[in-house]
Amino acid sequence: MNLTERIAGTRLERAAEMLIEGKLIAFPTETVFGLGADATRSPSVARIFEAKGRPSDNPLIVHLASVDQLPIVAGEIPEVAWGLLESFSPGPLTLVLKKQPAIGPLVTAGLETVAVRIPAHPVAHRLLELCRLPIAAPSANRSGKPSGTTWQSVLEDLDGRIDGIVCEDGCWLGIESTVLDLSRSAPRILRQGAITHEQLAAHLKMDREPAFSEPGAILSPGTRHPHYRPQGRVQIVDPMNLPSSDRSRAFIGLDPPKSNTLSWVRIVHDVPAYAASLYEFLRECDRHGIEEIYCQSVDDQGLGRALMDRLERAAGLK
């Protein structure tokens, strides 16, 4: 068991120095916390998989401070990538591109492609600028659990398993980035996220929205594994028609539920607020030993589509 150093947001030089030494540092991004290490050092990257208990066939996203660093990690950068980066970066868009040899097989799980993102969170951005390294960073949670959107939640999973954490919050989006594969002939969304399929379709001037990968396809290795699962059983519900149960129950959604036997109710005012609070709500349910977690379904459009994807995975439906 190592000691995990708590680093204030005002001491990012310390966190950068540790990354340069090959250490593992958790830091906030606008989506969720990332667990970062130098993407060019295999032993450090191997420790990320160990700390998370992550299957080695699930590749990592490489984070950069700016587009100038892109040629270090990506081999072929199509014109369309530059246009997308100009419109949506820094931000919650991850592009899958052909990789450069500087990025080893552990990061990419043996694929010839690399996933790249330039985060917008000022803490993440400053840290990446200070260390000037490509930083491999999956979400900072034990594999299979809901991602961490507060530093306390990250420590709940990873205290003693990682070298340091930047103790600043502000994961304002709350669900992970959109992953878009540009390494093939047609752009393909591998994971829904805060940059919506409608935005991408409009930008790419496609009549149809960018295709989704078929479930379980090798293109999107991470989506095969269980994700976002709390201890309690998640069910996607209509608040007017909750299932009955003798077990302890909690609800999150846009409309007040028709039941007065719930231990805990969380009403969110819109879909972005729902997405931003979901993972912390699921973790909070576990802290209180809630057995049945009811989550209201939302319209399958815009950010709602990404939210439904997370809810379906949390419920074990995908």
- What is the C-alpha separation between 314 and 318, in angstroms, rounded? 8
**Residue (150 or 177) nearer to ligand TXA, CB:** 177
Question: Taking Cα atoms as reference points, which of 283, 277, 280 lies closest to residue 230?
Answer: 283
The contact mask relative to Mg ion for 170-199 (x = CB under 5 A, - = no) is: ------------------------------
Taking CA atoms, 152 is separated from 35, 54, 95, in Å, by 14, 20, 29
Is position 34 an interface residue for ligand TXA (rule: CB under 6 A)? yes
Of these partners, ligand TXA, Mg ion, none, which one is at the site of residue 61 (CB under 5 to 8 Å by kind)? ligand TXA
Residues in 176-195 at the binding interface with ligand TXA, rule: CB under 6 A: 176-177, 179, 190-191
31 binds, among ligand TXA, Mg ion, none (CB under 5 to 8 A by kind): ligand TXA
177: amino acid identity, one letter: S
Selection from 26, 261, 307, 66 nearest residue 162 by Cα? 26
Residue 117 binding target from Mg ion, ligand TXA, none, CB below 5 to 8 Å by type: ligand TXA
Q: Six-digit token pair at 295?
A: 């989550």
Spatial contact of 12 and 126, defined as CB atoms under 8 Å apart? yes
Instruction: Identify which range of 8-16, 90-98, 156-164, 285-293 contacts ligand TXA by CB under 6 A.
Output: 90-98
- Residue of 4, 44, 139, 223 that binds Mg ion (CB under 5 A): 139
Q: Enumerate helices (H) and strands (E) in the chain, giving the number of each.
A: 10, 15
Distance CA 118, CA 124 (A): 9
115 near ligand TXA, rule: CB under 6 A? yes
Interface positions with ligand TXA (CB under 6 A): 29, 31-32, 34, 58-61, 92, 94, 96, 108, 111, 113-115, 117, 119, 137-139, 176-177, 179, 190-191, 220-223
